[in-house]
Amino acid sequence: MSMQEFSDNLSTLSYMSRRRIPTWIYDPKNKTLFGRTCCSWILCILFYLVYYACLATFFTCLLWLVLYCNAPENQPARTGAQSLLDFKPGLGFRPLLDVQKSLIRYSADDAQTYLPYTQNMDAYLDTYNQVNAKPDSQFANCKGKEGETKDVDKVCKFPLEVLGPCNTANNYGYGKGTPCVLLKVNKVFGWMPSIERPSQSNDILVSCSGQNSADEENIGSLAYYPSKNFSGKQ
């Protein structure tokens, strides 16, 4: 094969390789990719970047404006009778290790079995220790008639001493087989408890009992701190 024939064959192969790419994808004559030149692609990309950036900014500003006007910073948009709770707060308890389980099971002779419960109680009451360390001027005066107060923007001080033996030094009674369970009322904005039996107590009255007959037999005697229950028992 002569050099001329080799050169002709190489040109033919080069031409065939270029022709494998359709011109609508890449046109070597006009130097376009999908019908656009390099400058056209740059302008197109810049346009959509600016367009979507403006669209995202507009959506963010609109969302912020709606939330800022309708959702107060310190409370939900719907409170009181307008809320889904409708002045019917739920009653929770501690210790709570698993939201799917409410059973408290341990051995009083084995500290490792009730350690998670006491740690859960410590973590929950630590917030009260921090709040109670603030000056009394930051709390509402709740020593009036039936515990009423005009300081609706402040909270009553809850000293942990009123919980009696339910404290961390006593391991909340778990080591003695008399475990403490803290009852908590879920927060409902705009709700003020009404004292139905002020002759018994100025606090919210609760009553604890077994769910079935077996629970009634095993629950034993109960003590309430700092208030009384519906039956007037301490």
Quote the tokens at residue 179: 């475990």
pLDDT in tens, 132-141: 888 888 888 8
Over the stretch 76-116, which tens digit does the pLDDT of each residue have? 777 767 777 777 778 889 999 988 888 888 999 999 999 99
Q: Report the pLDDT averaged over residues 169-181.
A: 92
SS (H, E, C) the chain: CCHHHHHHHHHHHHHHHHHCCCCCCEECCCCEECCECHHHHHHHHHHHHHHHHHHHHHHHHHHHHHHHHHCCCCCCCCCHHHCCCCCCCCEEEECCCECCECCCCCCCCCHHHHHHHHHHHHHHHHHHHHHHCCCHHHCECCCCHHHCCCCCCCCECCCHHHHCCCCHHHHHHHHHCCCCCEEEECCCCCCCCCCCCCCCCCCCCECCCCCCHHHHHHCCCCCCCCCCECCCCC
Lowest mean pLDDT across 48-57, 95-104, 198-207 = 198-207
pLDDT of 150: 66
Percent of the chain topping pLDDT 90: 25
Q: Which domains does the chain have, with CATH numbers?
A: 3-70 (no CATH), 91-219 (2.60.40.1660)
Instruction: Decide if pLDDT at 65 tops 50.
Output: yes
What is the value of pTM for the model shown?
0.62
* 13 band by pLDDT with thresholds 50, 70 and 90: very low
Q: Give CA–CA dist 202/197, Å, rounded.
A: 8
> Per the structure block, which two tokens stand in for 125?
């009451």
Task: Please check whether residue 225 is in contact with residue 162, taking contact to mean a CB–CB distance below 8 angstroms.
Answer: yes
Instruction: Give 38-45's long-range contacts (Cβ < 8 A, gap of 24+).
Output: none
Task: Report the alpha-carbon distance of residue 43 to residue 143 in Å, rounded.
Answer: 73
Give me the pLDDT at residue 56, please: 95
pLDDT at 10 over 50: no
Q: CA triplet 33, 38, 44: central angle to 5 degrees?
A: 95
Of 95, 93, 115, give the one whose Cα is nearest residue 106. 115
Query: What percentage of the chain exceeds 70 in pLDDT?
Result: 75
Tell me, what's the pLDDT at 63? 87
Do 129 and 158 contact (CB within 8 A), yes or no? no
Instruction: Assess whether pLDDT exceeds 80 at residue 157.
Output: yes
Could you tell me the pLDDT band of residue 57, with boundaries at 50, 70 and 90? very high
pLDDT higher than threshold 80 for residue 169: yes
Answer whether residue 2 shows pLDDT above 60: no
Instruction: For residues 118-142, give the mean pLDDT.
Output: 89
Mean pLDDT of 215-233: 73
Summarize the confidence of residues 188-199 as an average pLDDT: 70
The pLDDT value recorded for residue 100 is 86
